[in-house]
Amino acid sequence: GEDVEQSLFLSVREGDSSVINCTYTDSSSTYLYWYKQEPGAGLQLLTYIFSNMDMKQDQRLTVLLNKKDKHLSLRIADTQTGDSAIYFCAERGLRGGGGADGLTFGKGTHLIIQP
């Protein structure tokens, strides 16, 4: 089946930029997503990018997509303690049959903020 890979941990100093990387295998991916999960909570959509885009910026968040290498990254500028969470990369592929498709998630990257 399709696969999404992420590093399990990333540690950064408060105020620095965080870059979380993700690779995927599904060449039919149409949308790629970044979600944030705080302990014991559900998933919060941070941003998403359509597969024909290279970059998307939204305030402190910048998403870069290299479709050729199937590589996605999320950059968080000026990382704060409130950014501490698990960040999931997810992709939506083409399954056919019409209708909406479920997402394939990576295992999540735990972002640790050092004071």
Partner 1 sequence: GAVVSQHPSWVICKSGTSVKIECRSLDFQATTMFWYRQFPKQSLMLMATSNEGSKATYEQGVEKDKFLINHASLTLSTLTVTSAHPEDSSFYICSAAQDGYTFGSGTRLTVV
Binding mask 9-38 for partner 1 (x = CB under 8 A): ----------------------x-x-x---
Stretch that binds partner 1, among 11-19, 59-67, 71-79, 100-108 (CB under 8 A): 100-108
User: Is residue 109 involved in binding partner 1 (CB under 8 A)?
Assistant: no
- The site that binds partner 1 (CB under 8 A) totals a number of residues, namely 24
93 counts as binding partner 1 under rule CB under 8 A: no
**CA pair distance 85, 68, nearest whole angstrom:** 29
Binding segment for partner 1 (CB under 8 A), chosen from 54-62, 63-71, 75-83, 85-93, is 85-93
